[in-house]
């Protein structure tokens, strides 16, 4: 009995699951950016894209790469995204704050009057 | 002096391994020679700038960082789920807050790690860094939990500075 085929298939399924889950989180982040009201709250939604979304896709690709130099490079890529994305986010947020953009600090509930809002 | 030698050797080692892994040229003498040249140039430049210390060459504490990052990764995962749940809810209901978080960490590295960890966790972003605290914007009040921030800071200090190191002037460690 040849197990090689089944192991390759299993790895493909696991890797596809990681990549698809990552893509779903990227999509959720994009939808959040559109739905949330102001600059600072949208930044939180964008954070979903470059933490969980990006890292899950990198993990999925690492499984595809197997024990090769490509996997090493992908791992380093994951670490660099992990280290640089908060720095970039902070730079953008700090620039907005310094230039006087006031954050929205009141309750935001646009659908409160609708059927969904009444139920919740 | 001895510690500078230690960090120099460590940096040379890490740069060499990184060069070999990224290029993949293990057996071509000319290209490996260029790689050695690149490592030497980087090493001499770093030494001349006086940067051979624990802050520029943090690789000796890599196991501590890996432990901290895996803990932070789990926290980020949980926070991601929470943010997606809020931003995708049919009845969008948020109340953003600006909150001030006290900082007791002394070294730049620990403070940076702490601020970046807050930013990296979805739902909270460090907007302004001050001498004694950070100004943090949170998506809802649940994210602005002071005890959770305390916990992150304690672990960040432990990972960056270690338990025994309290505060040493730079270049003496």
Task: Note whether B31 and B88 are same-domain residues.
Answer: no
In a domain, B113, yes or no: yes
In a domain, B54, yes or no: no
Task: Note whether B93 and B34 are same-domain residues.
Answer: no
ipTM over the 0.85 cut-off: no
B170: left (phi over 0), alpha (psi -120 to 50) or beta: beta
Please write the tens of the pLDDT for every residue from A67-102.
888 999 999 999 998 888 888 889 999 999 999 888
Pick the residue from chain A with its C-alpha nearest to B87.
A32
Residue A51: which of B122, B127, B137 has the nearest Cβ? Answer: B122
Q: Which residue has the tokens 């994210």?
A: B143
Task: Note whether B96 and B40 are same-domain residues.
Answer: no
Residue ranges of chain B whose CB lies within 8 Å of a chain A CB: 21-22, 24, 69, 73, 76-77, 80, 83-84, 87-98, 115-117, 119-129, 135, 137, 139
Please write the tens of the pLDDT for every residue from B1-46.
678 888 999 999 999 999 998 888 888 899 999 999 999 999 999 9
Determine, for residues A105 and B139 on separate chains, whether the beta-carbon distance falls below 8 Å.
no
Look at residue B166 in the predicted model and tell me its pLDDT. 45
Q: Which domain, by its residues, includes B81? A: 61-161
**How high does pLDDT run on average in chain B?**
86
Residue spans per domain, chain A:
4-99
Q: Which residue has the tokens 């960090």?
A: B7
In a domain, B53, yes or no: no
Task: Note whether B17 and B100 are same-domain residues.
Answer: no
Task: Note whether B86 and B13 are same-domain residues.
Answer: no
Please write the tens of the pLDDT for every residue from B95-131.
898 999 989 888 888 898 999 999 988 889 999 988 8
Q: Measured between alpha carbons, how far is B92 from B15 in angstroms, rounded to an integer?
A: 49
Task: Note whether B38 and B78 are same-domain residues.
Answer: no
Q: Which residues of B touch A89 (CB under 8 A)?
A: 119, 125
The mean per-residue pLDDT over the stretch B54-71 comes to 87
- Number of structural domains (chain B) is 2
Look at residue B168 in the predicted model and tell me its pLDDT. 46
In a domain, B154, yes or no: yes
Kindly indicate the confidence band of residue A119, based on its pLDDT and cuts at 50, 70 and 90: very low
Task: Note whether B67 and B133 are same-domain residues.
Answer: yes
Task: Note whether B34 and B74 are same-domain residues.
Answer: no
């Amino acid at each position: 009995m040849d197990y090689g085929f089944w192991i390759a298939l299993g790895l493909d399924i696991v890797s596809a699951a990681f990549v698809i889950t990552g893509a779903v989180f990227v999509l959720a982040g994009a939808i959040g950016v559109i739905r949330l009201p102001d600059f600072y709250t949208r930044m939180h939604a964008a954070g979903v894209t470059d933490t969980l979304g990006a890292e899950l896709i990198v993990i999925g690709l690492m499984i595809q790469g197997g024990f090769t130099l490509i996997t090493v490079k992908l791992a380093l890529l994951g670490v660099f995204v992990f280290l640089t994305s908060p720095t970039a986010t902070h730079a953008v947020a700090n620039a907005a704050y310094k230039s006087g953009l006031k954050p929205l600090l009141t309750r935001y509930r646009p659908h409160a009057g609708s059927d969904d809002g009444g139920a919740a | 002096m001895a510690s500078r030698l230690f960090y120099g050797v460590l940096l040379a080692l890490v740069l060499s391994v990184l060069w070999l892994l990224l290029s993949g040229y293990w057996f071509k003498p000319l290209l490996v020679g260029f790689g050695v040249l690149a490592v030497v140039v980087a090493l001499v430049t770093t030494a001349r700038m006086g940067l051979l210390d624990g802050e520029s060459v943090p690789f000796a504490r890599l196991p501590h960082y890996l432990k901290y990052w895996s803990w932070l990764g789990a926290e980020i995962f949980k926070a991601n789920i929470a943010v997606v749940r809020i931003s995708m809810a049919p009845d969008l209901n948020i109340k953003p807050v600006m909150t001030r978080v006290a900082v007791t960490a002394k070294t730049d590295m620990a403070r940076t790690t702490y601020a970046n960890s807050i930013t990296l966790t979805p739902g909270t972003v460090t907007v302004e860094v001050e001498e004694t605290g950070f100004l943090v914007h949170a998506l809802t009040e649940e994210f602005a939990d002071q005890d959770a921030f305390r916990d992150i800071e304690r672990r960040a200090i432990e990972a960056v500075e270690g338990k025994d190191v309290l505060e040493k002037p730079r270049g003496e460690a």
